Structure 1
Amino acid sequence: MDQTLYFILLLIALCSVSECVQRQYHFINEKTTWTEAQRYCRENYTDLATVDNMNDMNEINKVIKPKQSMGNDHVWIGLQWTGLDKWQWSSGEPVLYLNWATGQPGSSREECAMMRNGQLHDKKCSESLTFICRSSNNTDTRLVFVNQMMNWRDAQSYCRQNHIDLVSVRNHNENQQVEKIMNDSHISDVWIGLFRDSWQWSDQSDSSFRFWYKTEPSHAGNTENCAGLKQDNTGEWHDLSCTSSPKSFVCYEDAELILIKENLTWSEALRYCRQNHADLVSVHSEEIQRRVMNVVKWPSTAAVWLGLRHSCTVGIWFWVSGETVCYQNWAPGNGTSEEDCETAVRSGAVQSGGDQQWISRPETDKLNFICRRNLQ
């Protein structure tokens, strides 16, 4: 009984593994338009730089400053204006819960959100309110009420400099926590970390992290639809014309995963990865799947090999690296236990287009493949 319980707990632990997204940034000191920079990054790395948080900003500043003297020029990143509004959290977390008051959000261009009586209202970002930050003492997360009147952008900067960020209200429980702080402080309205904009990352990332200069984005002349960071001590962002003035740019690639654009059989791909890197990639979590989807955007084949193999002996799929197949992302009709073992051994690949789901392919097919780098 004890051994059975141990095995179950071990399996749960293996199935809950989640890695942090890691990016390596590369400063390209060539002057191009935004579109040309995007094309270069996609051909040589993964895409133009995506930024999730201040740690990413610090890493970008590190790769820029040793190679470029300080000045007033800008450097392209992968943010572009789309014209399609979307509500987002300042912290970059997904928006899954929004407790809007009746009639909210309104039809006017009020692009920030406050809380009143436990419900959300949209409001002009330029107005001044008190606000609530999310903080941490390294053991737990807590909320901090700041009894200072600031506009939304200044409140965001204050929280990022002194705590973590403006508070995100991600569920009913957090909604009640914020409401309690407001009642205890006898405050009717507070800024929270909700805002809306029309900017989208080149790699289609959901990251809602923004680091605009205080007067940006300005949309001057309705032509400034691309983002660049200022080459100064802060690296704050400005909206710029995508074509008027060529600029240097920053690309990124996954720190752990690499797409190999050679057409090899599954066994040849496995041998290549183990000789030159660590192994064929194992996709054992949703987080790894998202990273694979970014890496696999620009292959030369319709599908790309994964480290997924079918055993005809026991009728199961397994990762050759040893991870348990807990998370699954099979396309309909694929990944069944009744594989055709008479014709060829089957291996797993991820589709290059569409929803980028997994498919079963004969191991003799010749495809691109994804290796996991050896980070030691």
Structure 2
Amino acid sequence: MELDTVFITLLLSAIFSALASHQFEYVQMRMNCTEAQRYCRENYSDLASIDNIADVTELLNSVNGTSGDSRVWIGLMDTFRSEWKWSLGDPAFYTAHDSLFRNWVLSQPNNSQYYCAYMSQDGLWHYDYCTNQRFFICYNDSSKGIILVQQLMSWRSAQSFCRANHTDLSSVRNQGENQQIQQLVNTGGVTAVWIGLFRDSWEWSDNSTSSFRNWASTEPHGNENATVLVISGSIRGQWEDWPCNTLFPFVCQEDQFILIKQNLSWNEAMTYCRQNHVDLVSVPSPQIEQRVMRVARRALTAAVWMGLHHYCIMNMWLWLRGEVVCYENWAAGNGTRPQNCHEQRVGAIQSSGGQLWVSLPPTIRLNFICTNYEP
């Protein structure tokens, strides 16, 4: 079999596939935040991290209709070490180190208690109390443009306005974008505008770089050092800080195994995984299989491609990385040598029932599971 054969160019993969960096798993057991973190790290990857509003929606969908609780733990925790971050916190928005671009006026920032940044007419940045009222700059991802909003608002209200009407408060990733905003400010006859830079001490349990925050209007406050997502009521989807010793159910994330809900042939699936992740998934042990089974249950097809193929001449099943299959879990009548070696066979795992392995022709079109694990 020509494993490197490419049958199609996946030009529309970003539209039709599940490209989220995390897949969420709701756990109904009630634990404190430390116990929840330990459980997620032992059974999945970690407590849930959230990069953007789409992740909030996906996480809410994962608990929809299954919980009698109004709140669930997510992975945001207070480190009590403040750092400057962008409101538009999705790491995919930034390349290299452009999230670290700064253009502070001389002597700022220091260790004061000012937590939000604005830009003045000269293009330099200053910090201020977040409750002060200023005009502000929104960013719109659809038009790839910046918008001057000449309404006086606090930084938090400006953030809410930008998210409701555009994408977010504007980030400034380089000197060119800084000059764009400066020109917009001067053309509009404005003296200063909020930008999306803020300072906080909250970090994700998995050490991811996302600075996305979706706090309810009065949050965070006090010495409450862990975060819940509100899943019902008037502030559904927003976040609150709570003491870590409170008992809540929680949401874990699975980063290693990613279900792609496209129907592709086995070769096309392999190519997709190698272009966008690492490879089609291997299942070398019962422990890994349990995790792959959980991911496969969300598939839209009766079976899901794995990185398993048959080397007919020697009657051997191999994983794509070259490992001989030692652990196996075939359905009855599967995994045997075909009548002749012209009948190519590759492996999939059932998405329901006993979730056993089945051998199929590689031209069948199924959902598939990619791995982000690099051996």
Distance 1:231 1:119, change over 3 A: same
SS at match of 1:78: strand
Post-superposition CA distance 1:233-267 (Å, at most 9, x none): 42211111111x21010111138449xxxxxxxxx
Q: Which residue of 2 aligns with 1:172?
A: 175
**Distance change >3 Å, CA 34–CA 281, structure 1 → 2:** farther
Query: What is the deviation of 1:107?
Result: 2.7
In the alignment, the residues of structure 1 paired with residue 123 and residue 31 of structure 2 have an alpha-carbon distance, to the nearest angstrom, of 48
Amino acid at match of 1:128: Q
Match of 1:211 in 2: 214
Deviation at 1:231, TM superposition (A): 2.7
Aligned position for 2:252: 251
Q: Which amino acid aligns with 1:229?
A: L
Q: Name the CA distance, whole Å, in 1 between partners of 2:24 and 2:132.
A: 36
Contact 1:225 1:240 in 2 (8 A): yes
Equivalent in the alignment of 2:132? 127
Secondary structure of 1:375's aligned partner: strand
How many residues align structurally? 269
Corresponding position of 1:230: 230
Is the counterpart of residue 375 in structure 1 residue 367 in structure 2? yes
State the partner residue of 2:199.
196
For the aligned residue pairs, the C-alpha RMSD in angstroms reads 3.5
Contact 2:20 2:55 in 1 (8 A): no
Are 2:117 and 1:113 aligned? yes
Name the SS for the 1:133 alignment partner.
strand
3-state SS in 2 of match to 1:41: helix
Tell me the percent identity: 40
Q: Do the aligned residues in 1 keep the contact of 2:45 with 2:256 (CA within 8 Å)?
A: no
Tell me the distance in 2 between the aligned counterparts of 1:375 and 1:124. Answer: 50
Question: Deviations along 1:186-233, whole A, 9 cap, x unmatched?
Answer: 111100000111111111110000000111110x2x2x1110112324
Letter in 1 for 2:154: N
| Unmatched runs of 5 consecutive residues or more in structure 2 | 1-8, 260-265, 280-286, 289-306, 309-319, 327-346, 350-365, 369-375
In 1, the alpha carbon distance for the partners of 2:146 and 2:241 equals 32
Alpha-carbon distance in 1 for matches of 2:86, 2:176? 17
User: Do residues 242 (structure 1) and 241 (structure 2) align?
Assistant: no
Identify the residue that residue 162 of structure 1 maps to in structure 2: 165
User: Aligned partners of 2:124 and 2:144: how far apart in 1?
Assistant: 22
Distance, in Å, in 1 between the alignment partners of 2:197 and 2:367 is 37
Read off the aligned partner of 2:48 and give its amino acid letter: A
Q: How big is the shift at 1:43?
A: 1.7
SS of the equivalent of 2:193 reads strand
In the TM superposition, what whole-angstrom CA distance separates every residue of 1:269-299 from its partner, at most 9, and x where no partner exists?
A: xxxxx9xxx66996667xx48x9xxxxxxx9
Relative to structure 1, the CA distance from residue 237 to residue 180 in structure 2 (aligned partners, 3 Å threshold; closer, same or farther) is: same
- Amino acid of the structure 2 residue aligned with 1:98: R
Q: 1:76 aligns with which of 64, 73, 85?
A: 73
TM-score by length of 2: 0.63
Q: 1:238 is aligned with what amino acid?
A: E
**Aligned CA distance change for structure 1 residues 36 and 279 (closer, same or farther; 3 Å):** farther
1:64 counterpart residue number: 63
Secondary structure, in 3 states, of the residue corresponding to 2:208?
A: coil
Question: In 1, are the aligned partners of 2:72 and 2:251 still within 8 Å (CA)?
Answer: yes
Q: Which amino acid aligns with 2:254?
A: E
Counterpart mapping for 1:295-334 below 5 A: none
Letter in 2 for 1:236: Q
Please give the TM-score of this superposition, normalised by the length of structure 1: 0.63
Partner of 1:25: 24
